[in-house]
Structure 1
Amino acid sequence: MSIHLQNLGRAALVASALIAGAAFAAETSISVPVTDIKFFDTGVGPLKAAVGFGDLSKGAHSTFVKLPAGFVSPLHIHTEDYYAVVISGVVANEVDAHVPDRPLAPGSYWFQKGKVNHVTKCISANECVVFITQPGKFDYINAH
């Protein structure tokens, strides 16, 4: 098995675990076609979000986040830890803004520790979509 397929397998396993965790909290089984996923403004720059599970403004959630092509966040933190799986585009998420980007293609994932400065980028020519799971509400606090 190639390294790429091993990584994709690991990312799929993480995504499955994240989705399974969300499913345990749902009252009924659901299936949502991609055409029914509705994005809304997050209030954080140009970022858009769509509900996977829960409510990102109130507590535990799994959420699709859309970043426009070329997006580079300011150095920032989130209060809560989160896990992210890249659905489309190529993302970089680094805790040191001065290191070279590590491209995270579809199927890649990362864990972001809460209260740790980081920069998130969409480094592809097309928009990026990630699926995040967080145990508490989403916040975005610019580093000072």
Structure 2
Amino acid sequence: MLKRITAALALTAVATLAQAQDGHVFKLDQVAWQPAGLKGAEMAVLWGDEAKGNAVWAFRLQPGVAIPPHLHTKDYWGFAIQGQWAHIDGHGHTVVTGQDAFVRIRANELHADRCVGPQACINIIQFDGSRDIVFPEAPKKAP
């Protein structure tokens, strides 16, 4: 059984473009980060339109924060612009990325994420369409 959470229902993000001091440069510390449903995790739409499925997202994870196994119904591409972002595939294999790599997660691929630290991780992600997140449900125990 899968529990699907859409971007619009689960984590309401607003367009978070900060006021650019010079009209075209935006600082990430000026972005209006929004809670991402997990302590130590935040997100922001940097540009594009969430409703149209063309938003580019920033996710900020504090050191040690892990997002449990999940999947998305669309492919996504992403890269870390700060920190060490660990990707864990459905078999538990972990690859830590820094600023020298980018990732592609295919639709419906079970994976998890973690910020290795010691610095907070900031990741830029673009989905091939609307963003969602699906967490596998734990089997229900018999009474």
* TM-score scaled by length of structure 1: 0.69
1:33 CA displacement: 3.0
Q: Does the aligned pair in 2 maintain the 1:55–1:137 contact within 8 Å?
A: no
What is the CA-CA distance between 1:98 and the residue it aligns to?
A: 2.3
Alignment of 1:67-86 (within 5 A): 67-86=61-80
Work out whether 1:61 is the aligned partner of 2:91.
Answer: no
The number of residues matched between the two structures is: 114
Question: Which whole-Å deviations, capped at 9, do the CAs of 1:53-97 have from their partners, x for residues lacking one?
Answer: 123465221111111210121110011111001011101112235
List, as ranges, runs of 4+ consecutive aligned residues in structure 1 with deviation greater than 4 Å: none
Unaligned runs of 5+ residues in structure 2 are 1-22, 138-143
Output the aligned Cα RMSD: 2.0
Structure with greater strand share of residues: 2
Map 1:65-144; keep pairs closer than 5 Å.
65-99=59-93, 101-144=94-137
Task: Choose between structure 1 and 2: higher helix proportion.
Answer: 1
Aligned mates of 1:37, 1:31 — CA distance in 2: 12
Q: Percent identity?
A: 20
Larger radius of gyration: 2
The question of whether the paired residues in 2 share the 8 Å contact of 1:97 and 1:119 is answered with no
1:30 Cα shift? Answer: 4.1
